[in-house]
Amino acid sequence: MPPPERHGGNLATTAARLGCRPSQLLDASASLVPFGLPWALRLALLLGQAPLLRAYPDRQYAALARALAGLHGVEPDAVLPGNGAAELFTWAARDAAAAGVSVLPQPGFGDYPRALACWEGAWLPLPLPLQAGVGAQEFPPPPGGEVLWITNPHNPTGQLWSRASLEPLLGQFALAIVDEAFLPLVPGGEAHSLIPLVAAHPNLVVIRSLTKLYGIAGLRLGYAVAEPQRLQRWAGWRDPWPVNGLAAAAGESLLRNPAACRRWCGRVQRWTAREGAWLQQQLAQLPGITPLPSAANFLLIRGETSLVPLRERLERRHHILLRDCRSFVGLGPNWLRIGYQSRQHNRRIISALGQELACWPDWKGG
């Protein structure tokens, strides 16, 4: 059995393996909004391409930092744009490795151990409950360690942690790294963001991404909010111009109008609530699988036996990609993750699952 991919959305490789075009695949392995790009972004990319491609980007990304700072009510020097959240995890891990042992909630995102391994950072697991209630949850008491990594809402379980349960932890660790990549997609999620606490806690780093919210994974655009001195140190470590000019311009255009940004977030959050409730209800009626409650725009499902054959049949027979969860430390072959799509495509996923699960006894052994 080949090892699972650390990330979803590997369309080119999967299409080559299946003998089809990437555009023929329905990708529910990545958790992105299904909407078309905002017009402000389309115009920015269409009209500004030539100058952006010719000139070097601003090394300080000052305009983008100001736009991000205005969005969150912080100073621009407390914001550092990055080449996606993944790049920023690498620099956070360098600080974490120097600070001591990291605590990683499990099951958890494989990019955190990957980043720590770059700097030979030690870590220990914090097991999480896999069946939680609906709404903001209490974060479980962590074990010893100097650095705490938190994903809110958690990936892959979709659990939302309350700010009230997270804030006391900031006094227990030398460094707290909080990944809020999915939080803007959660209805009421901003009430649990730790960004408002950054000014009072120099040991806090919050990392976000515009990838999920706007469906722009190809542009690679994320940012960190933290103590300015820490971010200046990170900027000195990394390559020049880690964010390309097109991505920086895209971020500026998306965030230039706060009212438009709020309207977009509202639209996304209504979609998350609507499709999440519908998809969970539909999945609960299928045999052999159980969906877990989720506050995010994805659902974790558990199988009575290995779901790897089911995922493979969906790829081969229906060109539908679901997330193989064996890459999440703490999960195994009995788990899959489904990223929400449009209602039309969610119906297609449910129909394909129903067809395959109906003949489950004939093929579940392999």
Task: Give tens-digit pLDDT for 270-285.
Answer: 999 999 999 999 999 9
Q: For the chain, which domains are there?
A: 11-31+261-363 (3.90.1150.10), 39-256 (3.40.640.10)
**What is the distance between the alpha carbons of residues 226 and 202, in angstroms, rounded to a whole number?**
7
The whole-number pLDDT of residue 9 equals: 61
Task: Give tens-digit pLDDT for 53-102.
Answer: 678 888 899 999 999 999 999 999 999 999 999 999 999 999 999 999 99
* Phi and psi angles of residue 303, each rounded to the nearest 5 degrees, phi first: -105, 155
Q: Give the mean pLDDT per block of 10 residues along the chain (366 residues).
A: 60 86 91 86 67 78 95 96 97 98 95 96 93 75 93 95 96 97 96 97 97 90 98 95 90 88 95 97 96 96 94 95 90 95 97 92 55
Task: Give tens-digit pLDDT for 94-134.
Answer: 999 999 999 999 999 999 999 999 999 999 999 998 866 66
Distances (CA, A) of 65 to 21, 77, 203, 221, 248: 37, 8, 21, 12, 9
| Surface-to-core class of residue 318, CB atoms within 10 Å of its CB (0-12 exposed, 13-18 middle, 19+ buried) | middle
| Total Cβ atoms within 10 A of residue 24 | 11
